[in-house]
Chain A
Amino acid sequence: MAVIEFQNVTKCFSRSGGSKLLRVFLQERLQKRHQDVFCALKDVSFRVEEGESLAVIGANGAGKSTLLSLVAGLTRPNEGRMEVNGKVAALLELGTGFHPDLTGEENVYLNASILGLSRKRTAECYNAIVDFSGIGDFIYQPIRTYSSGMVMRLAFAVAIHVEPDILIIDEVLAVGDQSFQAKCFERICELKRAGKTLLFVSHVPEMVKQLCDHSIWLEHGRVKAAGPPEEVLAAYGATG
């Protein structure tokens, strides 16, 4: 049974950004003007089986983030069918909910709760999270005193302790120094070995080849190529 399945999925957004001021809202209602739409995904189909890892590659604006938002359950497709079976953890951004005035400790608890960790599990993992991040005593300082690398390391340390069936990662691995990146990569490999399903957006060909069984190439919202990572990467690279 496929863990993620997209069948002819189309997702469009209103070009005006959707946010309405009252006068724009009334104008559109009164003038019955057809809203400009921008379709981020057009007729996209793919399957991911349990335990597989899929890489999504493509240029900026190709629709990768929209695809991940759909799988994460943040929004629904306009057309087509989408099925996701299993608990999803989406690392679409590191440090969601982080506030600069709160200490590292307070932010860890807040971020963990937002990502879906229970009170109990957060308390259990707290020490492991702090150790993994390498922040040390700075954990008691407000994070506005941290370097950006420290913030990212702390955020990743929390994120890596979420235990999903499906893990979605959006270009967030390029943080920290070599040793930290290696630590993160190793943790993700562990999850893969444990049979978790992975959906991965990255521009780093080596990681894609190492981690992923399949790959799709998105261009302007359509699936331009699909298959083993080497093939798709070669086709993507060939366009220069």
Chain B
Amino acid sequence: MWNGDYSFVLSNLVKKDFKVRYRNMSLGVLWSVLNPLVTMGALAFVFTIIFPSSAHPHMAVFLLCGLVPFNFFAMAWNTGTGSLMDNYSIMKRVTVPRELFPVATVLGNCVHMLIQIGILFAFTLGSGLGVNRHWIWLPYVWFMEIVFVCGLAMATSAINVYIRDTRYVVESVNTIMFYFVPIFYSYDRVPPQIQDIVHYNPLAAMILALRNILWSGIAPGWPLIGKLTLCSLLTLGAGFLLFRRLKAGFFDHM
């Protein structure tokens, strides 16, 4: 029944999130820069001074390859889960397609991610690791992560309308996820039996792909890319279908 302009609403919602977040902060966009730097600094300190056996060459790049995708993943999934309830007042009054809310939230987080990718590149080039031909995979890999998070956000935002605890469950999962993806340890440390399973987690696959491309300078590898693509697309499909299914009851349950 709503036949408005999808892209217009989407761009307005994304701009709103961005402006609202930064307009009232004195340091503004700088916070997006400080956050990964501080975390990386702390991790680098712990894993070179306190656990020296865990040190890697070009530690900053090694850590940022994990931190940047993880920050985006956690923020986007957290805010995406709450996106429908946060827009409760709009949903109660206008028939704007509900899918736009989680998608707009995820895309809004992409803007912050771009800033952090800039930092990642700065450190990569600064460490002397240079650009190589495998960098061509980077846009594809990032795109798959966005697809993956959109799928998750659609699913959990819909469930969150019915069961309000979902937000907190997702936050807890993200906290634990920090340890279960190879951010501050290398993939070789994962026991062989689990190694394959880790690949099926698109976030882990993506971090490994980034590390291969930027830190090691090698190709991400087909099994990795294949699993990343497959799981991301499946998640998007499942999330979308679940959302469609639950959509009808949103109004009555808010």
A interface with B by C-beta (< 8 Å) = 13-14, 18-22, 25, 69, 72-76, 84, 87-88, 90, 92-93, 96-97, 99, 101-102, 106, 109-110, 113-119, 122, 142
CA of A109 to CA of B93, assembled, Å:
17
Nearest-Cβ distance from residue A189 to partner chain B, whole angstroms? 24
A93 to B93, CA, bound (A): 7
Residue of B nearest to A76 (CB): B248
Flag the segment in B14-22, B123-131, B140-148 that touches A.
B14-22
Q: A102, B9: Cβ atoms under 8 Å?
A: no
Query: Which single residue of chain B is at the shortest CB-CB distance from A109?
Result: B12
- Nearest chain-B residue to A107 (Cβ)? B16
Give Cα A118 to B9, complex, Å: 9
The residues of A that contact B7 with a CB separation of less than 8 Å are 119
17 A–B contact pairs at CB < 8 A? Answer: A18-B253, A19-B253, A20-B164, A72-B94, A87-B1, A87-B3, A101-B20, A106-B15, A109-B12, A110-B12, A113-B8, A114-B12, A114-B94, A115-B4, A118-B4, A119-B5, A119-B7
Question: Closest residue to A91 on the B side, CB-wise?
Answer: B93
Do residues B4 and A113 form an inter-chain contact, with CB atoms below 8 A? yes
List the A residue with the shortest CB-CB distance to B10: A113
A19 and B164: CB pair below 8 A? yes
> Quick one: closest B residue to A78, CB to CB?
B252
Given contacts A20-B163, A97-B94, 18 further A-B contacts (CB under 8 A): A18-B162, A18-B252, A18-B254, A22-B163, A22-B165, A69-B251, A73-B2, A73-B95, A87-B3, A92-B93, A101-B20, A101-B23, A114-B9, A115-B4, A116-B4, A117-B4, A118-B4, A119-B7
Contact B1 A73 (CB under 8 A): yes
Kindly state whether residue B92 has any CB partner on chain A within 8 Å.
yes
What total of chain B residues lie within 8 Å of the partner, measured CB to CB?
32
Q: Look across to chain A and name the residue whose beta carbon is closest to the beta carbon of B165.
A: A22
Interface: B90 (CB within 8 A)? yes
B12 touches A21 (CB 8 A): no
Query: A110 is contacted by which of B1, B2, B5, B16 (Cβ under 8 Å)?
Result: B16
**Residue in A20, A106, A113, A118 whose CB lies within 8 Å of B162:** A20
Min CB distance, B173 to chain A, in Å? 15
Give the residues from 212 to 254 in chain B that come closer than 8 angstroms, CB to CB, to chain A: 248, 251-254
A117 and B5 contact, CB distance less than 8 A: yes
B53 close to A (CB within 8 Å): no
The chain B residue with its CB closest to the CB of A14 is B252
* Chain A residue nearest to B5 in the complex (CB): A118
A96–B5 touching, CB < 8 Å: no
Once bound together, how far apart are the Cα atoms of A138 and B208, in whole Å?
A: 51
Residue B89 lies at the interface, judged by CB distance under 8 Å to chain A: yes
CB distance from A183 to the nearest CB of B (A): 23
Shortest beta-carbon distance, A223 to chain B, in Å?
A: 22
Question: How many Å lie between the Cα of A75 and that of B91 in the bound state?
Answer: 11
Q: For the complex, is B96 an interface residue (Cβ under 8 Å from A)?
A: yes
Q: Are B20 and A113 in contact (CB under 8 A)?
A: no
Q: CB-nearest residue of chain A relative to B168?
A: A22
Question: Which residue of B89, B94, B163 contacts A115 across the interface (Cβ within 8 Å)?
Answer: B94
User: Is the beta-carbon distance between B163 and A21 smaller than 8 angstroms?
Assistant: yes
Interface members, chain B 1-43 (any A CB < 8 Å): 1-5, 7-9, 12-13, 15-16, 19-20, 23-24
CB-defined contacts of B19 to chain A, threshold 8 Å: 101-102, 106
Pair A21/B164 contact, Cβ less than 8 Å: yes
Q: 7 tightest A-B contacts by CB?
A: A116-B4, A18-B253, A73-B1, A118-B5, A75-B251, A113-B8, A113-B9
Determine how close the nearest CB of chain B comes to the CB of A204; give it in whole angstroms.
Answer: 22
B251 proximity list for chain A (CB < 8 A)? 69, 74-75
Closest A residue, CB atoms, query B22: A101
| Residues of B close to A72: CB separation below 8 A | 1, 94-95
Enumerate chain A residues within 8 angstroms of B15, measured Cβ to Cβ: 106
Kindly state the separation between the CA atoms of A118 and B162 in the bound complex, as whole angstroms. Answer: 32
- The residues of B that contact A18 with a CB separation of less than 8 Å are 162, 252-254
Closest approach, in angstroms, between the C-beta of A88 and any C-beta of chain B?
6
Contact of A25 (CB < 8 Å), options: B23, B94, B163: B163
Chain B residues numbered 88-114 whose CB sits less than 8 Å from any CB in chain A = 89-90, 92-96
B20 near A122 with CB under 8 A, answer no
Closest A residue to B24 by CB, please name it. Answer: A101
- List of A residues within 8 angstroms of B93 by Cβ: 74, 90, 92-93, 96
